[in-house]
Structure 1
């Protein structure tokens, strides 16, 4: 079937579910592909004008068990990604390859997080070893979580990437817990040399919208 394909749906019942508008079918609901109505011609013309001015990103939703292939699935440059509204690509894995040009030293590189989630905890200054998460209960301990910000470049443009959790562990080569509790880098505003050393590193990035 020639693109674009226009689908007209009749006799639906609108409903809001989890904050998003949905259409529920009824016994009278019918679907019409490319219906022979004036609105169809108008929609096709508008779509083609938008497509020619700003073509959509090529998307492949089929995952591969071969990681060599998976690394290049939905591979786009940063320049391409920043010029599109990624809200239109829900649950799509995008990949790119870039170089870390700089690690921001003017902001915290880790934070203390809840043991049950990744939210930042509040530390009770009057009661040592008491950390409170706004979602979960008070804990006697907390986790240390990466949150360092970087400037990356893939030769098309630069962008700010912030690395958390496993992504930070993989790039730095050490866990945040190790750096804070074993190596003694316990000041979030003082960037450890081992984190600074990732500048110039070529990285493979994968993000899900």
Structure 2
């Protein structure tokens, strides 16, 4: 074979990690067989483009949120670049960089690059390039956070600055007279707590947590090592949520109503709401896990179960959610009000790398036992108006007096003081 010569190739395999016919960006290869034929193409053919994209319009990304089997390519002029920051994802610290790009309709889109790919963009080079600077991102995943749409990098993502394609020329022509340059924003200098500190902050047991006055400790985060021992199948496992605030919404005629945002102009989203029970060696308590807290445990968005897999009945729990039972985690818990009630909210969970918790044989809970309710919460978790009563759900209505203050409350003050 001669370098630079164009061939027509037939009878070959596209392989990746010995799996035939599966194409993965940056990992695919051609495997020639005995029947492979190379035919020299001598006639004139159009020039083969250096880049090939399948761009998605920004307003079409909403339908692709959390559906990652088909990734998206996006392009736009660079509006701003944010410096490197760190986040805790799946029990590890990862770097991220944020971008804002704009299309020819002047719509903007937030872009997040995770890990090392963000380090490969040289800010100094971008500052010396003539405006507007166009950037294309391939193999991006559509996401939503606090009601805002963005795209995030995946293992297959690449970026191309001013690629030589027709779309680049259109954008440059559209903004050729713009005097707006790239806004370089410094990343946050606030470092997240080391992972081990996050796992042990205000470590307590379930019985100590239950003894606290929740009204006086709403701003404090606690950690407790426990096992999910039961799913409350009599309560709905998801609800229709506002895509902006994740609160439960109501049907209003032919549309949907959100108490925060009024009539919705877009379709609601499915949002996890799992009622369960956690236990440690000192006792047990009820919890409720919302949204991406559940997603992080089973690695599947709620929309996949309801839209793609057809589990549309909130009273029938999909089998995959049974994987939650028996999970030993370190739960980060915070008290949060819910109408006249107050719940203990799990804002995050971690794996315990030292020794997962194991419990003795289960015991029967007396009907007179007081059990507190815990809600799982993450940065995208709403404060949901739940069902009015659950007989086994503790409602905190009487603040604890100074004389009645338990030892764990004194322990908490000591922790805060330290």
- Where on the TM-score scale, by shorter chain, does this alignment land: which range? 0.5 to 0.7
Distance 1:131 1:186 in 2: 17
- Identify which of structures 1 and 2 has the higher relative contact order when contacts are C-alpha pairs closer than 8 Å and 6+ apart: 1
* Alpha-carbon offset, residue 197 of structure 1: 2.0
Post-superposition shift, 1:169? Answer: 1.1
Q: Does 1:179 align with 2:305?
A: yes
SS at match of 1:91: coil
Match of 2:224 in 1: 96
Paired residue for 1:118? 246
1:152 and 2:278 equivalent?
yes
1:64: Cα distance to partner? 6.4
Offset at residue 141 of structure 1 (A): 0.1
Aligned to 2:262: 137
Greater helix share, structure number: 1
CA distance in 2 between counterparts of 1:147 and 1:96 reads 21
What is the distance in 1 between the residues matched to 2:268 and 2:320? 23
Q: Distance in 1 between matches of 2:261 and 2:194?
A: 39
Deviations 1:135-185 (A, max 9, x none): 213223001111110011011101000001221111222111111111111
Task: Give the corresponding residue for 1:189.
Answer: 315
Q: Which residue of 2 aligns with 1:206?
A: 332
In the superposition, the TM-score normalised over structure 1's length comes to 0.64
Which residue is equivalent to 1:51? Answer: none
Structure exhibiting the larger radius of gyration computed from Cα positions: 2
**Deviation at 1:88?**
2.2
Partner of 1:67: 195
Q: What's the offset of the Cα at 1:106?
A: 0.8
1:74 Cα shift?
A: 0.5
Corresponding residue of 2:294:
168
Q: When the two structures are aligned, how many residues end up with a matched partner?
A: 144
Runs of 4 or more consecutive aligned structure 1 residues displaced over 6 Å after TM superposition: none
| In 1: Cα distance, 2:309 partner to 2:209 partner | 38
| Residue 87 (structure 1) aligns with | 215
Question: Distance between the aligned counterparts of 1:89 and 1:101, measured in 2?
Answer: 26
Q: Which has the higher strand share?
A: 2
Q: Which residue of 2 aligns with 1:77?
A: 205
- What root-mean-square deviation, in Å, do the aligned CA atoms of Structure 1 and Structure 2 show? 1.7
Structure 2: 5+ residue stretches without partners: 1-190, 336-418
CA offsets per residue over residues 44-93 of structure 1, 9 Å max, x none? xxxxxxxxxxxxxxxxxxx9631012201101001001011132224211
> Within 1, Cα distance between the matches of 2:235 and 2:215?
28
Cα distance 1:70–1:112, how it changes in 2: closer, same or farther (>3 A)? same
